[in-house]
Structure 1
């Protein structure tokens, strides 16, 4: 059988790269409730795509459709170059799935869980043991390999869950909220595992409730709301969609403050703090222009900080009315 033709996506440099996942007009309803209302996706191979959205937005449904666990009511999709509807078995052979709830069997040991997955993938006994040992070592689980999985911590169970997913050497991994319930240290450890997978060429489709997680890991982010993709782009592109960015200049010299306030337009004054807020998208060009102006005018600010919207602001702005964005984060420059 000839190898499947992978769809391609055009990068910013004009070159094309193979798409690991592509979808057009995916729809899914349960009774009168429309969960997905015609979403489009295009995810390059070897990248991390994060799908954000409030509870009930359709994130898990999207993963279930793309991983062949359920069928879509409409639309088309290809995963690893295979059509979901025409060749679901080939899709299953190319992917791994780690759901919200651990698939680990707590009644058997970590090693036995791994060997069971090897049997399900029809590996020989020798190959199954070799891969089991390699993955247990990779995920720092060798010392606990002979212990019942029920004795593992939450972080250890999630590591074992992903290790089990990797037994079949999947090219694409779907991680549905993989760090839910983990403590901060375990979450950061999981982030490192995901980065290593992508470095090795694996494509990761990630759903998460943690906006920092998407900001840290994802090459591109989609925000799902009311069954539709409300926005998609890099983290920085999404942040620029939301107004509220500004540059804050603070002075200790009242004369310098008054000079800057009278000369700069569209500023918000804080006379008590001797501070000016200047609307800005936080770009390097705008920052350089302001610094050049201050130098030319002979005005020296004692503190300059850039305030930019974060993914919290993006999330609240895009996922429904009545939500108030968090205060913008600031970073001293």
Structure 2
């Protein structure tokens, strides 16, 4: 029997009576899972902390939930337990996790935020008596993300290359560090906790890793100061913004599994895959990521040819022993 992937974007079905992942009709409104893992919310006391939505409304972390069938919830629980054990152990265990498992874990959180944002948008448009206006480019990205997330319950193989980039770094974090960021328009995610940091770009077919090859080579096998990890995050978040392609994927369904193949990113325009890097804009992004250390834009881009960096010294080598408090 051929596997069938569920597509909620066909009829824009985002109610609480349908499993968000499989499209199965739910028996009860109690069939829900949390967007953010329960163990993480408890470990860092996040449950009642505010989570700001795109419409400026505020929810708590524990209020972000997903309608989910028992079968899908069990599959997520199995995956989450694997990630929980690794993350509570630390860097080496996280590094050893299969990339696809980490992708599923990150994708569930990002898509979970997207699902809650869409529900909020639908509610607002109903109250305003207007049709919901939704970017087709975002629908395209979210539909692909949702299809790939179904690898939790459907056997799936990513052919030739992964559609995502996930980098894991050892970071000398202060105790009880927890810093989470996402940008759903560009499908990028970062997390800093325990003794590690993660940066994930979910639909770039590995291009961000190539784009940042020089910096990634410099930091390879190094334990990073938090300010160095945040600099990497700033670079990634900015390049995700500069990424000017809308990746296409073919999903070939067979009785055994679904094969996902990324289409080439080169197009007929022959434009570079990334728009031009602007030092001032990058400096503004970096200023935001470096808030705990108080560096201002004018300091960061004082020398526009060589913006401030705590990764690369004037000699081009990796900077050791950063003389700053850990943030």
Fold match by TM threshold 0.5: no
Q: Which has the higher strand share?
A: 1
TM-score relative to the length of structure 1: 0.25
Higher relative contact order (CA 8 A, sep 6+): 1
TM-score w.r.t. the length of structure 2 is 0.25
- Computing the radius of gyration over CA atoms, which structure comes out larger, 1 or 2? 1
